[in-house]
Amino acid sequence: MLVGVPKEIKNREYRVGLTPDSVREFVAHGHQVLVEHDAGQGVGYSAEDYRRAGATIADEASRIYREAELIVKIKEPQPDERRQLRPDQILFTYLHLAPDPEQTHDLVDSGAVCIAYETVTDEHGGLPLLAPMSQVAGRMSIQAGAHCMEKAAGGAGILPGGVPGVPPARVTVIGGGVVGENAIAMGIGLGAHVVALDRDVNVLRRLATHFGPALTTVYSSRQAVEDQVLAADLVIGAVLIAGAETPKLVTREMVSRMRPGSVLVDVAIDQGGCFETSHPTTHDAPTFTIDGVVHYCVANMPGAVPRTSTLALNNVTLPYALALADQGFPQALANDPHLLDGLNVCRGHVTYKAVADELGYPYVPPREALKG
């Protein structure tokens, strides 16, 4: 199979779909790999690195979209990229379709086979291709929040860990999954007073066992969310419903009552965000302020640390990408129900129920779409 790796074109996105080491694996399996010139430059990989790994270098992305059977990316295809997709071409990347009707429309029209990293599952019900980026984003959320709490960044001028005689910042983490757990670890590591909220008592039990008395756990009722948000200096939105738009747990009214200089970091912004006042921002302009509250809502947070993110993501995506190339998409998806869970759009049909329900498309079960 001919595998294509275009350079990412989203704002400040430096990650790359395949590293030279991953390319070498494809070549060893008998596949051809076409990599856009400078695709890996942002993470320190030159065109010569890819040539040595066995790739052919393309001068422009249009050649990759024209020739490749499987396209491996990082971020959702931008409008110009979507226009170049063709029927039965396989797109393997993050998609986050539920809050993005324009992208969904274009992918349906393309006739391509679109497999989303974020909905591939494992035997434990986890999301193995989302987890490494969730780990990165969770850790970064505390870094970003700490910076935003500085006075020069619009915050109240609070040091997360305080100093002897001065209390630490209060950090509220909404959601105890992978993002939340990593945010908690970083917050506690900086010496902040951290409160975690979740609706699953088993998650709270796991977090309490892992972090001990350094962490306060609270069941996530509406009243508890309001109380902990209003008490916080920094709130991390770490809520995820796989493939679906994130519920708005922090209302505009709550934000209006927060202390001026408080900070909200919405890690859920890729799926629409969990704060009612959120809208996506970029690394060039990462924050905005509403009612004196600083909002950090960068939609590709791990793109700020592209080397770490690319290596971590390739570690988990490579086996699935190789299966698609080795077996072809119909067989690979039929053989692996967890990879099949990643199929969001196939040959003009929406094949992920949460996306279909959210955006009003007829839902076509993935196995039915494959038969068509």
Confirm whether 270 is a catalytic residue.
yes
Q: Which of 96, 193, 295, 349 is catalytic?
A: 96
Structure tokens at 269: 């912004």
Contact between 266 and 273 (Cβ < 8 Å): yes
38 is annotated as an active-site residue: no
Catalytic residue of the set 270, 295, 341, 349: 270
Which pair of tokens denotes residue 7?
């350079």
Q: Which residues are catalytic?
A: 96, 270
